[in-house]
Each structure stands twice: as structure tokens, then as C-alpha cells.
Structure 1
Amino acid sequence: GGAGSGMMWCGRCAGEGVLVSLTKAQKRARRLEGARERPPPPPGKATPCKACGGVGLVATADGELPPPRDDAPSVAVVGAGIGGAAVALALQQRGVRVALFDKDAGFASRKQGYGLTMQKYSGGNALSALGLRLEGVGSNANVSLDANGRELGRYGHSTLDGVEDETEGAGTASSDGGRNVHLPRQALRRALLKRLAPGTAVWGAKFSGYRETTALEDSGGGGRVFLTFEDGTTRGPFDLLVGADGIFSRVRRQKMGEDDAATVSGGDGTTRGKVAGTRKDANETVVEKADPALSRGASGPARSSGPAVDPFPLRYLGVLVVLGICRGNDHPLCSHKVFQIVDGETRMYAMPFTASPDGDGCLADDDASATETGTETGTETETETGTGTGTGTETNRPGAMMWQLSFPVAERDARVLASGSPADLLAEAKRRCGAWPAPVPALLNATSPSNCAGYPALDRDPLDANALRDFRDAFSRESRVTLVGDAAHPMSPFKGQGANQALLDAVQLARVLARTERFSPPGVERRMGCARVFPNDAENGGASDVALALAAFEETMCSRSEEKVRRSRDAAAYLHSEAALAEGNCVRAHAAAAATGNAEDAS
């Protein structure tokens, strides 16, 4: 059952974490209506479940994941990133069989991003609902300066009235402590994967397409999904396929009917870059199309002879992002601070990466010529907390830092830079910011090219749930394919929401599926206060309970992520404009909105 898994659904709240009831107004209305025949209103009050502390999980007796029953449903998840691993864990905690497929040869085959921030109200809550408590580095202030070193504003715990000690609020922070936590992406990913049942992750499985039957065709009364891979093998049947394969998702391409073409939308709203048969990702890696013979997207069998196009194409945001990891230094801005320096076009953002000076093994030597160890090799030098000592022994030295440089550039130039050598990216960063105020020059000089990468910032317009599941079409309605994370709602990195939203997707998907007959945890009793199960009208030609559950999840996911996508896109614009230079002891969005008189831009 994985290392220290030990969690399963709470029997009192059926894994929801809350108990629901009618509000006083609803109870009063029911009494006044008397015995009139009408469906009871949906409960309008929710309180945390005392049995599980509001997380929806309790510890198992043997410290292992609950074993799935013999007839347990099976789910295929494509993509073993943060979203895919979280989906697998949430489902296994509810007794579902899961196979997690990833094209990489192993966990450490390639870099999986750099640092991230677990937001206390989103990712932090989702981690608690997955039974995880991770430690990382806290920050007590966010400081903004211009390229001349003039402070534009600051906010955070150390800036509050009555806080006299500037170090207060700094140090180690935990994901369940009500604070934002900075940690390596790989530390979070490792923690999720380690808690899965042995054999869940299938590495080196390059997904190429799926074939789907629905309850309309399947005499067994439920949808079935078969997966094919580039080596010619087929796996299945599965009760559900979850596409968690990132911004260039193959599952999405087939789901949305985009079998023969790929498009990227320009910042002006035009569509261009259509390449029949293949396409290239942000690193100029060719991504082949899914086999059209296997295609059944959201609307069933292909109904058009021409190529289909995703109605929400990838959109280049006009900005190239360059990332780096390096050793910190004694500058005050490197001491448990998040800081950014802007000049009205270029932006340098930096945050704590790990408490250890060597990045928990990412940075092996003082001379910044580190080879990739620890995080990238999967050795025990990386701790799940992101605060371990790694291979270094200088416990008194400053912790490692991550920096993010971004600047406007034409899309073609952005792709050339991103696909070039890391040394060229680092040289471009030094050319642009090498003379900026401290500590930027020192951080750039301490960065090895091996710890540097770049990519064009892309997103998509917010996804409409009806595009995933059209109830006017029976095949689309009953489809057993859905999306999570960047496959569903890619967004720019400038609000730090991508991983947080993927974790929320995972928890919410598992919870709604548990409210169906097929996916209900074995032996669960939905007592007073538990969320209602979805009705099943499949035998009468109506919607099945699984279809209703997936539709509810997709609607929630799309409505929740819509604002995050929009505000992340807005941030890509104002952070690289004169608006970023507005003064104010608040987030840059608020300062920019106040300067421009547009309050709706604030977040």
C-alpha cells in the first residue's frame, strides 16, 4: 500500500470531509409547505466532519491503503505528474484500482519543473484531503523593486502592525499550517507517488490513443475504455480514463476531436501554426497525432471528414520564461523573502527553493557546476519535506533559491531560445539583468547552465464544461474520459496556481465518483448528513450516475479554474508593462489596478 499510505475514506462522511444539512430557512420553508409533494431542496449548510477532522480520510488499522474489492472499478490515468499522481492516490484511498501510465522511463528521467508554492487555501487544503503533510520553506514578506533598486512595495507577515522581529514568520512551514509553502516540485511529486500501491505507476508507456465504448453499446451496462501505446500494446478495459498528461495532452486532443491538426493561437486571437499529422511542443519536440482509427472524442465517433480543431487552442502569451536554481547568499532579500524586480518590460522573480544550501541535492558543489543528483536521480538525499540537508554539510549556509526571469519576445524567437542550450538561456538572463540591483547578479552567477531551462508561456481560454460533455448527445454524455490539471486548464505561471488547481481537481474528482454506485467505497453507509448519491436513469435511456458525477466534476473544475486562468493571463500582461512599476504595499495586481483605475484587474 505504499510508504506510509495508511489513509482511507471516512465512513461517517463517506469521504467528503463535511456533513450537510438544511439551513434554518430551509427547515422553516419545509414546515410551512406541509405535506406538499415536491423534491426536498438540496442541503444548504455544510459543517466539517468531526470523525475525520474535515479532511474526508481516516487512518487504516494496518497503515496501508485499503485493498480494492474483487469487483472494484478500474481507472487509467495518463500522466504521472502532480495531478495524475494525486488522482491515483485519491482514488486508491477509496478502494479503486488505478493504473498510472507515463511516457518517461522513470521518476527522475527528466526535470519536472522547479519550485512551486502551495497556496494555503487551495493546494494546502487539497494536500490535507489527500492525507499529506509536507514541510517546505516559509516566507515572511514579498518585496517589489524597480531596476534601479527603488522599493515599490512590500507585504506579508513581517510587515504587519505589531510585528517587530523581521524574522518572525520565517523558517520551516508546513502545508497544513495555514501558510504558503515553497518547495521543489519533485518533492511533492515524490511524496504522492510513494504513497501509491506498489506497481501503480507504469513507466515508459507512451500513450497514443484510446477506444471507448459507452453504456449504449456495452451489454454490461457501463462504459469501457481501452488504451493503446506507441509500442503497439493495448491495455484495458478500464471504467474511466483520466487525462493528466499536461499542456500538450494527447488525451485532450482525442477527446476534443483534434485528430489531424494542431493549432496555436496568437496573442491577437488569430489561429496559426496548423501542422497536419504532427506538432511540436515548447521544446520543439515532435508530438505525433493519435491514431484516427481509435478516435472517439466527447461527441462519439468522428462525424466529420475534415480535421477538427480544439475550440480552446493553445495561446502564446507573448512572454518567454527562464528558470534557474542556485545557492542563496546572505543578502536580506534571500532570507525567507519572495522578491521581484521589474522595469516595465522584464521581470525577475525569486523565492526560497529549499532550506538546505544544496537544494536537497540538486546543487552538488560550491562551484555551481553541479551535476543533477538528489531530486533528479531519486536518491534518498531528497526529503519529502523539501527541507532536508541533502548532500551538503554546511547547515549554517543560506538555503537554495529559485529564480524566474520573464520578458516579452516574438513567439518564433521564444521557441528558438527555449529549444537552444541552457547556456544560451543563462547568457540571455545575464545580458538582460546582469547589472540589476543585488542580489540578482549574484544569483545569476551562482547558477549552473545544468540548472537552467526555459519555455514560452502558453495557456488556453477557460474550458467550457459543455465542450467536454454534451448532454444532447448520448455518446458524449456517457463518455468515460475526463481531464485534470494542465490538460484541462493550462495557465501562465505568474499567479502560481497550476499545481494547486491540479490537486483540487484530484480530490474533487474522487469525491464525486464516490457518490455513484460503481465507484462507491465498499461498505460505505451514507448516514444522515452525507452528500446525496447521483441518480441513475441509464436503464430508462437517461443519464447514468457516473455521467452525472463526471458532469458535476467538470462543471466545478471549469468554473473554479476560469478565474485562475484569466487572472494568470492578465498577470502575464501587466507584470511586463509600465503598470508593474506602480507603488503600493500589496500584490502587483492590486497596485497595477489602482494605478490604472481598473479594480477588476486586482486579485
Structure 2
Amino acid sequence: MMWCDKCAGEGMLVTLTKKQKRARKWRRLELEQRHQGRGRGVCETGGGEDGNEANRKAFKVLSSAPILSPKNFRMCFHCDGTGLVLSPHGDLPTPMAYSSRVEIIGAGIGGAALALTLQQRGVSVALFEKDHRFTSRKHGYGLTMQKYSGGTALSHLGLVLEGVGSSSNISFSSNGDELGRYGHATLADFDESEGVGTTASDKGCNVHLPRQVLRQALLRRLAPGTTQWRQWLECTEGVRRTYLQYLSLESESSNSDFAPSVVSVWSRESCDLLVGADGIFSKVREILVGKEITDEYSLHYSGVLVVLGICHGFDHPLCHHKVLQVVDGESRLYVMPFSASPDGDGVLAPAVQKKEGTNTVDQNAAMMWQFSFPLDEASARDLTSSKFSGGILLNEVIKRCEGWPDPVHGLLVSTKTENVSGYPVFDRNCVRPADCRDLREKSTRRVVLIGDAAHPMSPFKGQGANQALLDAVQLARALVRTSAYSPHEIERLHGCVSHFSYNDEVELALRHFEGAMYSRSNEKVRRSRDAAAYLHSPAALAEGNRVRAHVAAAAAEAEAADDIVR
């Protein structure tokens, strides 16, 4: 896949006003003169007062051209709105010789997606990952690709992945009373076959698939040699914000002493842009804002421990393309499809026979469950730090779910301890773009964060991976609107000439991206944090046929309003 030359990879076209057309004309003249080395400004009028006045007018027109409102946009039918078209041989385009290099720290979903979407636009990319290899990381748990966020982003990456669709979401109390349901299956004309073999880029419904399946699909589409394993970021004390070092592990032995070797030193000369996609404990974020970060942006513990498990599906009505939730006013169990294959895409051993006391069968899709309950931070860290934590956590979950309705007990007892893990839930406030820019010194102005490095959130809204994918697509599009990353032969029709001026246009592109990312993700962080509180409170037991977190939030707010009245 490669970017569409009709819309310059934007997926949409606009009709320009006369003022915007003049601005685009002056910009084209300036770019031509810059690339020819003339360096005389936007007008070749010669010297003198008249020439200077013409230059000033040209710059005024360019800088004052208004940003287009959404009503000016129309979808590009050449690429069906994705910004991508098939390349002649199905290969990625050759990197542009004059394109500045982008280096990405972290080969998770956000980092891999950004690398792919940049390469599809002819940008030179290097991707650094501290893992020794792809299989070093645990197989990962399930993701829900939301139809209006992650699903759309995947289509703009040219990815079509098979996942499992869910037709309804049903909530119960711990004593078996139904609290509410919503989804396609609640409609009168629902087709029972819906949800089978759904693709993750379909916009019709949410789709569930394993995290590592998505990550592998992204990494496999990158150009050979893009991903550099066993390399991570370090910051030498005393020179923070001055330069960054990528360090390589020389020995895999856990008990050997070794001196990491410096692979490369980052500077404005070695690459034009550094992207931090290295997760909630991001080293790049630390470099941008320092270790002694203000309380407003520090790590925030949600007060909840999450336990995750993967098991074989059951021949039970609630295990067929459905999401199941059980709450008791304190703890919460969330069950969803994991993958369409019985072995969970290689995660589970084949279930060759039924287990005594359960209905485990081989032909059903694999399931994933998430159990969460309030716990203080010290105890949560203690419980998850042991190498035997899988068994300890599973026993704790089984004990807390005693007497809960079917199929809860069967799912839990059929889960093997090696497929169980847990972690305390942390998040951070999103750094406001203005604050982030104020904190940066000149040497780090071309450093930017995406995904969990920028806006880590609790898992209770299922938005983390979806927002990371959107970050990747939107950052790539912002960058290729600048002359540093845009092909010179492409005449941009999307009307973004007014977004970025000549001097430091990459920094302006980053500012524009960070503003859009903050507007989009800040609310997701807040609502995910609220959901962590509401779903583990008596408000979660309220009845309602909509998203359980929304029902719980409404119940909690109504109770608070009643308290004020009283």
C-alpha cells in the first residue's frame, strides 16, 4: 500500500477559496525557490522597497489563510477515504531521498502503526524495541476495536484483520439478576449469524482480537530492517534534554555483568524527529518533562487491581459472540471473546476432552476474562510481583466469585495459571500542549509522545489501543503536511497550507497534532478514571440497557444530587 496522490494521503479533498488558492500559489513558489537554493523569499521581484512590500503581502496572505471548516471537506473516492491505494507490486514506496528520518521508541501497537503509516507515505523510519524478539513479550490479552476509532484507524492503515464480533453486552448482579443489555442482538431483526468472522476494519460493530495478533500484523508489513530489537532509551544524568542514547544489551545472561554499548546518539543531525511510543513508564516522557514531574501529571493509582485470564470457550448461550459482565457493588468480572480459534491463536493448548465438572469443548472460540476489585497500591504490587502470582491471583478470583451465576465458575476453573496475570491500574493526566511546549528546551522541540506515553488510561473504557492507532494515523498526516516529509511533486489539494508556516514548520505540525490529540484523548482518560470508580461501587448495580459504566455514573450522580437536596 502507498499513499493516494489524489488527496496526498488525507482521505479527503476540499474546495479552496480564492484567498486559499493565492496562499497555496505563494507557498508553492517559496518551496520551489527554497529547493533551488535561491533563498530570496516567496517573491522573485528583486530588491528595493516594492519587492519587500510584495514579500510582506505574500507572507501576510499565507499566514492569514483560514483553516478550513469541516463542511468544506469531501471524501476522496479514489482511495475510498482511507488515504491509501494499492502500490504497483504491493510493496511499500521507496523512502524519499530528501525525507528527514523519524526514530520511534517502542514497537508496541502505537509505535508499529506509526512506523507503517509513515512508510506508506515514503518517510524514512527506524523503530527501536527493548524486547529481544517479538515472542519475548507475553502473548497479550484481548483488544476491542471500537468501530468509530480503532476500526477506522485500521482501515486507514490498509489492514483487514479477522476478529470476533460481539452481538450484545449483558450485565448481571452476583446473585444472577439481569441488570441490563444492549447491542445488535436486542433488535427485533437481529440475525444470529452476525458477528461471525467479522473484520477489525468493519465499521458496523466492535471487534475483539488478541493484542499480539494486531501487533504482529503491523510489524510484518514494515520494510525489512525497520525494527531494531534489544535496544532501548537511556538518559545520562546531567545531560537530560541535551541528547539521548540508544543502548543495546550485549548479553542475555541474567547473572552476567555487562556494559551496554552506545548504538547511536540522538541529535538534530541524526534524525529530524523522535517519537516516544514506549508506554506508561515512558523514558521519552521523562526526558521531556523530567523525573521531578509536577503533581498534576504524576502517575495516578486508580485504587483497583486487575486480573486477566484466557480460557477455552463453553457451550453456553452467554459464551457465543456476547460480552458478559457480573458486578456485586465492589468487584467486577468482564468476559468477552478472545479470538475465533479454539486455541486462542496459539495461546491455549487444544482441549482434547471435556473436563470433569465443566462444559469445555474444543470447537468454541477462546474467551478472555477480566476481574477487578479495589485494593491498596502496596498490596496490589505485592500480589502481582511473585513469580507464582498467576496461581495466587486465580485462587483469589475464584474465592471472590463463589456463588456467582453460570458460566463464571466454569470459566475460572478451566483457566490455567500460566494464562493468568495481574497488574495495578495506573493512569496519568494528559499533558496540555502548552505546558509540554513550555517545558521543552530547544534540543527537544522535535520530540513527541503518542499512545500510553502521552495519555495512559485505565482499561475500563477499552480505549487505550484505539487511541494509540488514531495517534499514529493523525501524527503521520500532520507530518506529511510539511515540506520536510511531503513529496515535492505532489500538489496538496486538502487545503492545509495555512496550518504550518515556513520557519520551524515541523514544530508547528507537532503543536497542531498535540492539540488535536489532547482534545480527543483527555476526555477518554477522565471517563476511564471515572469508570474505574463507578464500576467498583454500589452504583454499578443500577439497572439500565446501556453501557454499564454510563448506568453506574448516572446512578452515582443522581445519588449525589439527592444528598445535596437533603
Indicate whether the TM-score tops 0.5.
yes
Q: Write the distance in 2 (CA, Å) between the matches of 1:149 and 1:22.
A: 60
In the alignment, structure 1 residue 466 sits paired with structure 2 residue 434: yes
What is residue 335 of structure 2 aligned with on the other side?
350
Out of 163, 166, 177, the position equivalent to 2:202 is 177
- d(CA) in 2 for partners of 1:350, 1:123: 20
Code of the aligned partner of 1:180: N
- Is 1:584 the counterpart of 2:552 in the alignment? no
Specify the alignment match of 2:3 in structure 1: 9
Residue number among 92, 97, 105 corresponding to 1:70 in the alignment: 97
**Aligned length in residues:** 495
Instruction: Provide the residue aligned with 2:14 in structure 1.
Output: 20
The reply on whether 1:364 has 2:349 as its aligned counterpart is yes
User: How much has 1:592 moved relative to structure 2?
Assistant: 2.0
SS of match in other structure, 1:547: helix
The offset of 1:533, in angstroms, is 6.0
Question: Residues 79 and 40 from structure 1, CA distance in 2 versus in 1: closer, same or farther, beyond 3 angstroms?
Answer: closer
Q: Deviations over 1:71-112 (max 9, x none)?
A: 321111110000000010011111111111111000010215
Match of 1:240 among 270, 273, 286: 273
Deviation at 1:349, TM superposition (A): 0.3
- Counterpart of 1:475 (choices 442, 447, 464) is 442
Equivalents in 2 of 1:396, 1:434: separation in Å?
26
2:457 maps to 1:491: yes
Contact 1:253 1:310 (C-alpha < 8 Å) held by counterparts? no
CA gap 1:452/1:524 in 2 versus in 1, 3 angstroms: same
1:85 aligned onto 2:85? no
Q: Is the 8 A contact 1:256 1:310 kept in 2?
A: no
For residues 483-518 of structure 1, the C-alpha deviation after alignment (integer angstroms, 9 at most, x for no partner) is 000000000000000000000000000000001111
Partner of residue 366, structure 2: 400
Inter-partner Cα distance in structure 2 for 1:58 and 1:367: 45
Judged with a 3 Å threshold, the aligned counterparts in structure 2 of structure 1 residues 159 and 183 are, in CA distance, closer, same or farther, namely same
Q: In 2 relative to 1, CA 416–564 (structure 1 residues): closer, same or farther, beyond 3 Å?
A: same
Q: Secondary structure at the match of 1:491?
A: coil
- 1:323-348: per-residue Cα shift (whole Å, max 9, x none)? 00000111111111001000000000
TM-score, normalised to structure 1's length? Answer: 0.77
C-alpha distance 9-315 of structure 1, shift in aligned 2 (>3 A): same
Residue identity opposite 1:595 in structure 2: A
With over 3 angstroms needed to count, the CA separation of the structure-2 counterparts of 1:505 and 1:242, relative to structure 1, is: same
SS in 2 for 1:509: helix
Change (3 A) 1:600 1:396: farther
Provide the C-alpha distance between the structure 2 equivalents of 1:83 and 1:597, rounded to a whole number of angstroms.
35
The correspondence for 2:219, drawn from 169, 180, 193, is 193
Cα offset for 1:311? 4.3
Unmatched segments (≥5 aa) in structure 2:
22-59, 249-259, 354-359, 562-566
1:232: how far off? 2.7
Aligned to 1:278: none
Whether the 8 Å contact between 1:16 and 1:531 is mirrored in structure 2 is: no
Residue in 2 aligned with 1:440?
A: 408
The alignment's TM-score, normalised by the length of structure 2, stands at 0.82
Question: Residues 596 and 310 from structure 1, CA distance in 2 versus in 1: closer, same or farther, beyond 3 angstroms?
Answer: closer
How far residue 257 of structure 1 moved from its aligned partner, in angstroms, is 1.7
Listed one character per residue, the Cα deviations across residues 126-181 of structure 1 (whole Å, up to 9, x for unaligned) are 01111111110011010000000110010000101343x5x242312112321111
Give the aligned partner of residue 116 of structure 1.
143
CA distance in 2, matches of 1:419, 1:175: 34
Measure, in 2, the Cα distance between the counterparts of 1:597 and 1:332: 34
What's 1:319 paired with? Answer: 304
Whole-angstrom distance in 2 between the partners of 1:188 and 1:20: 33
Structure 1 position 341 matched with structure 2 position 351 = no
Q: 1:73 to 1:310 in 2, by over 3 A?
A: farther
Matching residue of 1:272: none
1:531 lines up with 2:496 in the alignment: yes
Specify whether residues 521 and 111 from structure 1 end up closer, same or farther in structure 2 by C-alpha distance, changes over 3 A only.
Answer: farther
Paired residue secondary structure (1:402): strand
Q: Are residues 309 and 228 of structure 1, via their aligned partners in 2, closer, same or farther at CA, if it must alter by over 3 Å?
A: farther
- Residue 467 of structure 1 and its aligned partner are, at CA, apart by 2.5
Q: Deviations along 1:392-445, whole A, 9 cap, x unmatched?
A: xx9971110000000001111100111122111111111111431111111111
When you count strand as a share of all residues, which structure comes out higher?
1
**DSSP 3-state at the match of 1:14:** coil
**Per the alignment, in what secondary structure is the counterpart of residue 589 of structure 1?**
helix
CA distance in 1, matches of 2:476, 2:243: 18
The answer on 1:146 being equivalent to 2:177 is no
Rounded Cα–Cα distance in structure 1 between residues aligned with 2:409 and 2:74: 51
Local SS of the residue matching 2:170: strand
Partner of 2:253: none
| Whole-angstrom CA distance in 2 between matches of 1:322 and 1:555 | 34
Question: CA 1:598 to 1:514, structure 2 compared with 1: closer, same or farther past 3 Å?
Answer: farther
What amino acid is aligned across from residue 455 of structure 2 in structure 1? H
CA shift, 1:43, in A, is 1.9
C-alpha distance in 1 between matches for 2:165 and 2:122: 35
Q: 2:128 aligns with which of 71, 76, 101?
A: 101
Q: Where does residue 431 of structure 1 map in the other structure?
A: 399
Contact 1:354 1:360 in 2 (8 A): yes
- Tell me the amino acid that sits aligned with residue 312 of structure 1: Y
Unaligned runs of 5+ in 1: 1-6, 28-36, 214-222, 259-306, 369-393, 539-543
Q: Distance in 2 between matches of 1:310 and 1:515?
A: 35
Alignment of 1:503 onto 2:469: yes
In structure 2, how many angstroms separate the alpha carbons of the residues matched to 1:191 and 1:534? 33
For 1:317 and 1:593, locate their aligned partners in 2 and report how far apart those are by CA, in whole Å.
16
Q: Could you tell me whether the CA contact under 8 Å between 1:434 and 1:444 is conserved in 2?
A: no
| Bigger fraction of residues in helix | 2
Separation of aligned partners in 1, 2:335 and 2:158: 30
Letter in 2 for 1:463: V
The whole-number CA distance in structure 2 between the counterparts of 1:67 and 1:495 is 39
In 2, the alpha carbon distance for the partners of 1:315 and 1:580 equals: 22
CA distance in 1, matches of 2:149, 2:462: 11
Which residue identity is paired with 1:513? Answer: L
Classify the secondary structure of the residue corresponding to 2:121: coil
- In 2 relative to 1, CA 545–310 (structure 1 residues): closer, same or farther, beyond 3 Å? farther
Partners in 1 of 2:300 and 2:448 — Cα distance? 22
Q: Cα distance, 1:355 vs. partner?
A: 1.4
| Superposed displacement of residue 46, structure 1 | 1.3
* Structure 2 CA distance for partners of 1:308 and 1:458, relative to 1, 3 Å: closer
| Partner SS state of residue 532, structure 1 | helix
Contact between 2:534 and 2:556, CA under 8 Å: does it hold in 1?
A: no
Question: 1:514 corresponds to which residue?
Answer: 480
Kept in 1: contact 2:67–2:499 (CA 8 A):
no
